[in-house]
Structure 1
């Protein structure tokens, strides 16, 4: 059965007309027994013996050729002279007419970790990416007849989807205002899954789970980007330190004035602010200096 869509003949899975193999196994045993009985009659009653022998052998051969076995989560596509006749998903011993071909396909979950590929992110920076994808066949007719090799098709589409998602976002945003590959794993992973589902739909394949297993700057810019990250971290730390120091100086001056501990004019206030900022923002331990004079001498 096929459907017409966008100029393509799309296959659709349907149930095949197969039977359980156990009743046919009993028939096979009966046919073999008939042939054995005919063999015993050949010497005394040649005509009867030959009839039983030939009939039993023909039926046994006919029945034996039609057997096939399906494991759990395994299916078999049935074709007749190149025409798709349906898919059998019932596990166990199965039987179909001998002239029908059976092509088995696994419908179990498959796990793939792609190769590391180099991609340019949204800002043009070269990065390395690799993805882990859990996929399974949901439509055996599409997987077998709409693409040449569905496993190779999955590998190619994973690489294409990773490149698409990798070029859609920047690797990192030092100002934390954009969606990034490094900082938004769940969102980016969800978009990767949606991209893969859309690409693998033609092959009857569903993606259950996916995510990035490797994400890093390419070696040629890794050191430069590391220095940039370190510089940004230093700047951010300094900003936090200065903001805290200003708050502490302001609080100290307010409490000194409120409790009338000391009267400070503008020049002495400036000197105190300078000293406090040096103490609070300095990277080294401060050394006390005893001033025996005054600020104006």
Structure 2
């Protein structure tokens, strides 16, 4: 069954409320006090004196019940018998009709650090991830009336967004061909902010900043992944070393040939290549060897 009321399908939207400055109403309150105090002395008739005092008392009570106070970065949603009438963002002493309900809400900046969540990254490796989120209420009407508890809503959406981003990328990539959680922190943080902003938009909340505060492999695979990282690092280093050594050997042979330093046949060329590769790729210092014979003996 669908709701035929089109207003029920729309989200709330903040609008200014019709309120007054409380300082101006203080003058009315003072006049009510003076009227109450001087009603009896200024009237010879007791009935009129009582009526004047009663009227002054009612005005005093009426004005007094309309006062409310708003601190900086605080707002008040004004309700009339459950109907939203607007939001007052003016700070200081304010006044509105006594029968209006004022629901105060903070529009200050909030800071939340999420708990460490265990998530499987893009490659299925379990990781621990946590984030820090800076947010504030941008639309008081949506925050108060479109969700049951906007603070709890934001907490839940932060957890959901962190899980979604954590599973969207791999933890690390030694080939540097993919966007990773560890290697592209700025990109991941920006995408987390966009993901979270989309989720909390309906609650009238604005996300100012998101940052990952904790990122690590889960304890059950931390040692294994550390050994894997070390092995991949060694392989990557060896690959770079061999590529550099081959280039240096090629350059050495080319310059020896161009400058006619020595004539090398295939066997001598192979021996020199072998010796240079050993020297360049070895992890230990080379030991000089003086050859007193012939290469062919």
TM range (shorter): over 0.9
Aligned-residue offset at 1:117: 0.6
Corresponding residue for residue 111 of structure 1: 111
1: distance between equivalents of 2:35 and 2:224?
84
1:1-297 aligned at under 5 Å gives the runs: 4=6, 8-38=9-39, 46-297=46-297
With the length of structure 2 as denominator, give the TM-score of the two structures.
0.92
236-245 vs 20-29, which moves further: 236-245
1: distance between equivalents of 2:9 and 2:188?
31
CA contact (8 A) 1:172 1:181 kept: yes
| Deviations 1:144-180 (CA, angstroms, capped at 9, x unpaired) | 1111110010000010111111111111222211122
2: distance between equivalents of 1:24 and 1:58?
15
2: distance between equivalents of 1:10 and 1:129?
33
CA contact (8 A) 2:76 2:102 kept: yes
2: distance between equivalents of 1:259 and 1:192?
61
1: distance between equivalents of 2:197 and 2:247?
54
1: distance between equivalents of 2:263 and 2:121?
60
Aligned-residue offset at 1:41: 6.1
Aligned-residue offset at 1:48: 4.0
2: distance between equivalents of 1:291 and 1:40?
132
SS of the residue corresponding to residue 11 of structure 1 reads: coil
2: distance between equivalents of 1:266 and 1:147?
81
Aligned-residue offset at 1:101: 0.9
1: distance between equivalents of 2:64 and 2:232?
74
| Deviations 1:125-159 (CA, angstroms, capped at 9, x unpaired) | 11111111111111111111111110010000010
Structure 1: 5+ residue stretches without partners = none
2: distance between equivalents of 1:151 and 1:30?
43
Structure 2: 5+ residue stretches without partners = none
2: distance between equivalents of 1:295 and 1:148?
89
- Computed over aligned residues only, the root mean square deviation of the Cα atoms, in angstroms, reads 1.9
2: distance between equivalents of 1:101 and 1:39?
35
Aligned-residue offset at 1:105: 0.4
Aligned-residue offset at 1:40: 5.0
193-202 vs 47-56, which moves further: 47-56
2: distance between equivalents of 1:271 and 1:96?
98
1: distance between equivalents of 2:40 and 2:282?
108
SS of the residue corresponding to residue 11 of structure 2 reads: strand
1: distance between equivalents of 2:38 and 2:22?
24
CA contact (8 A) 1:257 1:263 kept: yes
2: distance between equivalents of 1:53 and 1:257?
120
59-68 vs 10-19, which moves further: 10-19
CA contact (8 A) 1:4 1:10 kept: no
32-41 vs 76-85, which moves further: 32-41
SS of the residue corresponding to residue 131 of structure 2 reads: strand
